[in-house]
């Protein structure tokens, strides 16, 4: 059986039933989840500023002043 051609050098093949390919290491997974979390937090804080009926979303950040302070910093992390 030949090796698949679309493997990267850092991919790890785990043989056995079933054969799995470990494509993403812990660093890549951590980066993915930080990005996803920042995107959701930015969406929530941005929507709370967008329309007065969505102002209740600032409660996730501890109030309007905290949301206004955190929004740009979360954007920098993203």
* Three-state SS sequence of 14-68: ECCCCCEEECCCHHHHHHHHHHHHHHHHHHHHHHHHHCHHHHHHHHHHCCHHHHH
Average pLDDT, the chain: 90
Each residue's pLDDT tens digit, 42-70: 999 999 999 999 999 999 999 999 999 99
Quote the CA–CA distance of 14 and 70 in Å, as a whole number.
Answer: 42
Task: Please state whether the predicted TM-score (pTM) of the whole model is above 0.85.
Answer: no
Percent of the chain at pLDDT above 70? Answer: 94
pLDDT at residue 2, rounded to an integer: 58
pLDDT at residue 1, rounded to an integer: 53
Quote the CA–CA distance of 58 and 76 in Å, as a whole number.
Answer: 19
pLDDT tier, 40 (very low <50, low <70, confident <90, very high otherwise): very high
Contact at 8 Å (CB) between 41 and 35?
no
Domain boundaries, the chain: 25-77
């Amino acid at each position: 059986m030949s090796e698949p051609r679309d493997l990267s050098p850092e991919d790890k093949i785990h043989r056995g039933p079933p054969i799995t390919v470990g494509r993403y290491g812990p660093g890549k997974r951590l980066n993915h989840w930080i990005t996803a979390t920042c995107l959701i937090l930015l969406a929530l804080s941005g929507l709370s500023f967008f329309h007065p009926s969505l102002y209740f979303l600032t409660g996730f950040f501890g109030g309007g002043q905290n949301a206004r302070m955190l929004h740009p910093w979360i954007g920098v992390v993203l």
